Amino acid sequence: MAERKKLDLRFPKNFLWGASISTHQVEGSNNNQWTEWELETAQLKAAKARYNYGHLPIWSEIKDEASKPENYVSGIADDHVHKFREDFAIAKKLNFTALRSGIEWSRIEPAPGNFNATAIAYYKKYFAELSQQGITPIITLWHWTMPQWFAEKGGFAKRSNIKYFVRYVRYVSEQLRSQLKFVLTINEPTVYAAMSYHEKRWPPEEHSKVQLLRVLLNLAAAHRKSYRVIKHVNPRARVGLAHNCAYYYPGDDSVISKYVARLSHKLSNEFFINRVRHHQDFLGLNYYFANRVMGTRVHNPEVEHNDLGWPMEPDKLHPLMTQLYQKYKKPIIITESGVADCHDVYRKWWIAESVKSMNAAIKEGAKVFGYIHWSLLDNFEWAEGFWPRFGLVEVDYKTLKRTIRPSAQWYARLIKTLRT
């Protein structure tokens, strides 16, 4: 209670506390467009490791792992598909009231229109057992991976392909009807579109502003159609998506810095939300960093950086939440927020500052109903592979042993305090 009184923290009675995981990053043994790409690019990524990560202060500690091709192949990952009960027990031990997890589309529909009964039975059991632990599932339907057949048809770059995604959403919704409490249709659409169709860093490695815009608009349309499907199947389900937002602020008083900060916010944060604002019951917010704008560039030399080199400003979550709530008047849940921190030096501080930021936003009138930390487990971090460590729980990738980090133990005590 001392911590609560010291910080003067007040949260709604049924506030959701927990963490997040993603199917491809933890399940293991997936077969989708991303696994194909991993195998095609692993050797090159390993060869370019020093070029990509040599500037990081942590390079001397990660160079051996980052320089091996196997770092960039997900393989069995955390083997969560077989060890989910152990992971649920850890979540329970950490006093979680919610866990964000998901469904792997390629398992459900390995061939067009061919739905895998064994796979859907697995997910029914999976979410039922999570609920039996007293933990509310927050279900993500698409977190960047897709069946190979869908990718070969052009993925979300083709408007005509949206119907295939909606068909998958309808099938899953009908099968899991009673378990649909909180649903996220799509994870970070702007990040996926930019990294895959403009930055050439993710599959299919294209560089086209036209394709970038086309994919964004198609993902927005896919969400709107999926929203209507889910609400038809279960009107009580609360449906949204997880949108990555950074806080942009001017680093000086110049007109150009202020203008660029406002424009960046509108393009990066509001552009997509504006296209789905009437088709979401809440705002799912993924927050990792802020961007201090100096003229026409981002410059953050005065803040600490995490292992990936991202600037850490958890206090900026407060003005970002206030900004978004004032514009959209939608309840907010933090669907991801975390730090790559292999030594567990910053994670406790990050969570504490994030909690204070949420509390400040609530006091100013924002409706906030959950904090879902990224991530429950160390996992496969997409193009970077296994070396970045985001987990509240450390995973030894040789033995798959789970070890609860000190920051997670502190988070568990904080949750217990705030719920009493």
What confidence score (pLDDT) does residue 7 get? Answer: 63
Q: In degrees rounded to 5, what are phi and psi of residue 286?
A: -100, 120
Average pLDDT, integer, range 384-400:
98
In three-state secondary structure terms, 222 is helix
pLDDT at 2 over 90: no
pLDDT at 114 over 90: yes
**In percent, how much of the chain has pLDDT > 90?**
97
The angle, 0 to 180 degrees and rounded to 10, between the axes of the packed helices 80-93 and 117-132 is 10
Type and span of the H or E element at 411? helix 406-419
In three-state secondary structure terms, 36 is helix
Average pLDDT, integer, range 80-88:
98
What confidence score (pLDDT) does residue 142 get? Answer: 99
Question: For the chain, which domains are there?
Answer: 2-419 (3.20.20.80)
What confidence score (pLDDT) does residue 24 get? Answer: 98
Using one digit for the tens of pLDDT, what is the confidence trace for 124-153?
999 999 999 999 999 999 999 999 999 999
In three-state secondary structure terms, 150 is helix
Strands 393-395 and 402-404: antiparallel
Q: Distance between CA 256 and CA 229 in Å, rounded? A: 44
Type and span of the H or E element at 129? helix 117-132
- Calculate the dihedral angle through the C-alpha atoms of 254, 259, 262, 266, rounding to the nearest 10 degrees: -160
Q: Distance between CA 11 and CA 351 in Å, rounded? A: 15
CB atoms within 10 A of CB 304: 14
Peptide bond into 357 cis (omega under 30): no
Backbone torsion region of residue 281, taken as left when φ is above 0, otherwise alpha when ψ lies between -120 and 50, otherwise beta: alpha
pLDDT at 1 over 50: no
User: Count of alpha carbons within 13 Å of 320, Cβ hemisphere only?
Assistant: 34
Confidence of residue 5 (pLDDT cuts 50, 70, 90): low
Using one digit for the tens of pLDDT, what is the confidence trace for 225-241?
999 999 999 999 999 99
Using one digit for the tens of pLDDT, what is the confidence trace for 300-335?
878 999 999 999 999 999 999 999 999 999 999 999
Average pLDDT, integer, range 279-299:
96
Using one digit for the tens of pLDDT, what is the confidence trace for 247-287?
999 999 999 999 999 999 999 999 999 999 999 999 999 99
